[in-house]
Amino acid sequence: VYGTVSAQGPTRARLDRDAVARTALELADREGLAALSMRRLADALGVGTMTLYGYFRTKEDLLDAVIDAGYADFEPPPPSSSFRDAARELIFAARAVLQRHPALVEIRGAQPTVRQRAYRITEAAVGALMDAGFTPDEAARAFRVLFDYVFGYALVNPHAPSDELRREAHASLVALPPEEFPALTSMAAEMAEAVGGGDQFEYGLERILDGLEARLALSASATTASAGAPAARRRRTGRRAR
């Protein structure tokens, strides 16, 4: 007696690709990518397993949509006046997405990502870098350093820093044989702090920004000498770049 009002089953919203993908993302974030099976996802949605194949040709197709759903959460920060602030805000926003959706990092390990929404981060970042005076070539390279760092940090440190992580790291370090690991065993406390410490990400980001700023100063003075003021790309809010 198919009722008209009451919702039966775990989830009874009208299904479409996006709704399925969002539920899949939630499942993978919560229990890990390995827990995301077509059968479990169908159960969570209250439909038969094969119903999912009406929305996605294969599981790979579903994972693409999951990536898209994850990057939809990226919110470009408001433009900042200084290069330093703009870059910092952007990288923090990018890290926030990967932290909220660890599944994105897990999936990236299995296949390259070329989803349009993922490129929104790239667009915002290279835009900011060129606004700061980087040439297109340098902006592309600088972006990749920052991006690789954020991904690497997320991969190596998938969980938020915690006392428990610190304790575990410390325990595994002091268990090493000192003859073979003289430095590590002598500085186990400092290493454990760097593994599970709350401001390690910021430390690394500041060092990279130092390096990029030094590079910018160099190339800016070179540009000034040969062709006047640096770049002066139209503001990001403008429609056409260059």
Partner DNA sequence: ACCTGAACACCGTTCAAGT
Residue 141 has a CB neighbour count (10 Å cut-off) of 14
Contact of 154 with 91, CB cutoff 8 Å = no
Rounded Cα distance, 187 and 95, in Å: 28
Q: Which of a second copy, DNA, none does residue 47 bind (CB under 5 to 8 Å by kind)?
A: DNA
Size of the chain in residues? 242
Which span (46-54, 89-97, 134-142, 151-159) binds DNA, by CB under 7 A?
46-54
Q: Residue 39 or 207: which CB sits closer to DNA? A: 39
Tally of CA atoms within 13 A in the half-sphere of 212 that contains its CB? 25
Tally of CA atoms within 13 A in the half-sphere of 39 that contains its CB? 2
User: Would you count residue 186 as binding a second copy (CB under 8 A)?
Assistant: yes
Q: Which of a second copy, DNA, none does residue 222 bind (CB under 5 to 8 Å by kind)?
A: none
Which span (58-66, 69-77, 122-130, 213-221) binds DNA, by CB under 7 A?
58-66
Report the residue from 193, 220, 223, 230 that binds a second copy according to the rule CB under 8 A: 193
Local structure of residue 177 (DSSP, 8 states):
-
User: Would you count residue 116 as binding a second copy (CB under 8 A)?
Assistant: yes
Report the residue from 25, 27, 47, 154 that binds DNA according to the rule CB under 7 A: 47
User: Nearest-CA neighbor of 91 among 57, 120, 125, 59?
Assistant: 125
Report the residue from 20, 21, 36, 94 that binds DNA according to the rule CB under 7 A: 36
Which span (7-15, 48-56, 67-75, 134-142) binds a second copy, by CB under 8 A?
134-142
